[in-house]
Structure 1
Amino acid sequence: MIIRPRVQRLILNRIIKSSLVLFVLWTTLEVLSIRRALTFEASKPPPPFGNQKIFIASLHWTDERVLREYWVPAVRQLAQDIGRGNVFVSVLESGSLDDTKGALRDLDDQLTELGIDHRVVLDETTHLDEVTQARDANNKGWVQMPATKSYRQNWTDWFELQKDSWVPRRIPYLARLRNQVMEPLHQQQTKGITYDKILWLNDVVFTTADVQTLLATREGDYAAACALDFKQAPHFYDSFATRDAQGHAPLTDTWPFFRSARSRNALLRGQPIPVASCWNGMVVFDAQPFYHTRSSSSGLAFRGIPDTLARKHVEASECCLVHADNPLSAAKGVWVNPNVRVGYNGTAYEAVHHAGTWPSAYAIATGVWRNRLVRWLRLAGARVDRVVGEKLREWERGGPADAEPGAFCLIDEMQVLLWNGWGHA
């Protein structure tokens, strides 16, 4: 039987129209279902702090504006809301290029006036001091430049780092500073004072309600729980430290972010998202692993990957590795609470807290289909995973001592400290 061209066109048009109708209907029902779930979860009021003892930790460099406008008032209010006897605030600043020290002196004075236990350290050591110090053979956290490269000196000028010159790595430097921030936790322990949770805060815009909601993630049953963070909303910021339930970096920087079905499905329901690691501007840890015990003189601490692995042009965030090292991660899990969203400026914070359910119906529809297409077409992650995996296996062949428990944290980068910040090498 021969079908005429005109009939063929009619059949094809009907198939196309029917497919479009089904596509629109499917997408509409999916969006309605997702928005219903998100609205229900977002409507839950944040619970009170109760009698939890919370250690607040924070590290700062050249972020005066957000500190003065948002962060210092928010931390002061947060400490008051937690309660004077249940909170300690530990802050470290080092070598800022603006008046970050002045903003933190204000916080120091305010916490003193309120009678809140705290330590604010304003370190005069600059990045220039770090990069120009003499390096000896035992000085860990340094690598040789793989090639000559130019970096921005200021708005108009550039400077060069020559191939094979020794430079400090950014991540071991940050890990060392984070461990300094944690020192009062151990000092308090010697006085018989311990804390239930450790709350790390980046220089983000947040409220006390955000912290209450984060602390209550899974009714407090977690190794760690993180917010979502945004610098230019709706684009998710911290892809360096975030890994989904399968150890993959975020698939896209817009909602629903994740490659893993387990992580993505939890997000679609507005529920705590299982992940391998996260930081995202605000993270709370169960404090127990960080404490020194009779069986262990050193608790959980921040670190970088070994220099020998970093020399292969591989890096990992200290904020990811801490989850890989945390013995509670496997038992209690690491989670992202999608109902806690912070911003690195007021505009970003407002964009993810506008009236109505976040994200919008349009963002849900486009985000779900964008995520599907990227997964189906395998447009993200495969090449990087392959390159990093080859470098890791090559390094592991160096000897039985060469092993990296945070392999899922690795990326194909080398990050070095510069006098005015940091850069890729």
Structure 2
Amino acid sequence: MLVRTRRGRLALSRAAKTIAILSVLWTIYDVLRVRHHLARSSAVEPPQFRNEKIFIASIHWTDEAVLRSHWAPAVAQLARDIGPANVFVSIHESGSFDDTKSVLQILDADLELSGVRRRIVLDDATHKDEVEKSRAESGWLRMPGEKSYRENWTEWFTLEKGTWVLLLPIAFVFVMLHADWWLQVPRRIPYLAGIRNQAMQPLYELQQSGEVFDKVLWLNDVVFTTDDVRKLLGTRGGDYAAACALDFKKPPLTYDTFALRDSEGSPALMETWPFFRSSESRRAVKHGQPVPVASCWNGMVVFDAAPFYHSERPLAFRGIADDLAEAHLEGSECCLVHADNALSSSKGVWVNPHVRVGYNGTAYEAVNPANGASWLSSLDIATGLWRNRMGRWLRALHMTDTTVQQRLQTWQSQALDRRELGAFCLIDEMQIMLWNGWGHA
């Protein structure tokens, strides 16, 4: 009996060693294959600008530092490289706490000298003004007065991250509770969607004068170069409904998880490479190819302009319905726009993994190293592959959280005409406007 036990343990030990050796060999092979694909695909030179008309749009709030150090000079250079005849720059800024307006005024003068057409709106309206407005027909939430709200952290807030604050004085809340009143607060996403739509207005004014654009390029307050834009525009030879970069604030973590959904409509499985859960999206990123996704934004995104010109229902930015948001759900306007885009199903939405932008110079340099070096080490690739694999295995073992789906189904069942095309954009969250920014409720 003792001999059999020893033999069994020896067999198990040998099996474990064999599995370990095979796993190591498999990982080495995987890493070498990925490095080969990434090196080959990244060696392709970015295409030159074709004779396309490009409408550049951007919105800003309290982002003076990166605008002054990187963004504004990059936009001016990009416009010159595209050519004044083929570009229009539309920027909308509102209520910044810092000197963002001054930077944009300098950019305005720079573009003027280069003969670049533009509209730069510097709006004095602040978030406080929005919060104190009378309730509009849409874009506001009704919430019980006893609720408290966690203020979102940003670098200029005086509150610590995670601090909970009441939006109204305690005495007033007490009166509300006993009177069965409701707290009315403006929503963040419809506010942002409205500003984005305002930034798109020159596109339609130019159309009325006979000028039509081929592409719409949206830029966040990121560090980028003209070559980055050329690569993005050249994604799949220019054949796409939309194409996005990857964005980073604290590499190697990607930043925009609110709008990013893989080819199956699932959020990114992880914030580091290879990011995705779906096999189709994961396979593409491992080969360094354009990645099929359901939606993305990621700091920089280019659209085929045609849907914005649709005669009956032009593509526009929006938020989800207010009564759906009251169920404690939210969806990014940057995701919903892809759900509404008729070209998304035919031409596809893609992430170009060779276009990587940063929210500061350090982040940009980390994901775009000098001398053509790879931004991913062999260790990054090996650990990324195994973390992704383990994440998928663990997800398969756990029950799926159906909270969002159940709330959506309840909302849809309450009226026959209720439908949300961007169901894959929804998350279990509520975002509201505050006097100095926005917060989670």
Q: TM-score, normalised by structure 1?
A: 0.95
Q: Following TM superposition, by how much is the alpha carbon of 1:351 offset from its aligned partner in structure 2, in angstroms?
A: 1.1
Corresponding residue for 1:141? 139
- Residue 14 of structure 1, CA deviation: 2.1
1:279 maps to which of 275, 294, 297:
297
- Give the aligned partner of residue 186 of structure 2: 168
CA contact (8 A) 2:215 2:302 kept: yes
**1:20-419 residue pairs with structure 2 within 5 A?**
20-135=20-135, 139-146=137-144, 147-149=147-149, 151=151, 154-155=158-159, 159-161=165-167, 164-293=182-311, 296=312, 298-355=313-370, 356-378=373-395, 383-384=400-401, 386-419=402-435
Using structure 2 for the length normalisation, give the TM-score. 0.92
Task: Describe the superposition over 1:66-124 as per-residue Cα deviations: whole angstroms up to 9, x where unpaired.
Answer: 00000001001100110111100000000001000011001101001111011100000
Q: Which residue number in structure 1 is paired with residue 438 of structure 2?
A: 422
Q: For residues 258-278 of structure 1, give each alpha carbon's deviation from its aligned partner in whole angstroms, at most 9, with x where no partner exists.
A: 111111101110000000000
User: What displacement does 1:18 show?
Assistant: 1.7
1:161, 1:289 → 2: CA distance?
Answer: 40
Structure 1 residues 186 and 41, CA gap change in structure 2 (3 angstroms): same
1:7-52, Cα deviation, whole Å (9 max, x unpaired): 3333333222222111110000000001100110000000100211
Q: 1:246 to 1:382 in 2, by over 3 A?
A: farther
Q: Assess if the C-alpha contact under 8 Å between 1:223 and 1:286 holds in 2.
A: yes
C-alpha displacement of 1:2: 7.2
Shift of 1:354: 1.8
CA contact (8 A) 1:251 1:380 kept: no
Q: What amino acid sits opposite 1:349 in the alignment?
A: Y
RMSD over aligned CA atoms reads 1.8
Which AA in structure 2 matches 1:361?
S
> What's the secondary structure of 1:370's corresponding residue?
helix
Partner-residue secondary structure (3-state), 2:318: coil
How many Å apart are 1:398 and its aligned residue? Answer: 1.1
Task: Give, in whole Å, the separation in 1 of the partners of 2:276 and 2:68.
Answer: 34
Match of 2:177 in 1: none
Contact 1:38 1:268 in 2 (8 A): yes
> 1: CA distance between counterparts of 2:81 and 2:199?
22
Q: C-alpha offsets along residues 220-250 of structure 1, whole Å, 9 cap, x if unaligned?
A: 0000000001111100111100111100010
- Structure 1 residue 134: Cα displacement: 1.3
Q: CA deviation at 1:299?
A: 1.0
- List runs of 5+ in structure 2 lacking aligned partners: 174-181
Structure 1 residue 199: Cα displacement: 0.3
AA in 2 matched with 1:181: A
Q: Which moved more, 1:350-359 or 1:26-35?
A: 350-359
Secondary structure at 2:194 match in 1: helix
Distance 2:405 2:274 in 1: 26
Q: How many residues align?
A: 419
- Once the two structures are superposed, residues 151-197 of structure 1 have per-residue CA deviations (whole angstroms, 9 ceiling, x without a partner) of 37624797412573111000000000000000000011011111100
- Mapped contact 1:272–1:335 kept (Cα < 8 A): yes
Equivalent-residue separation in structure 2 for 1:114 and 1:380 (angstroms): 59
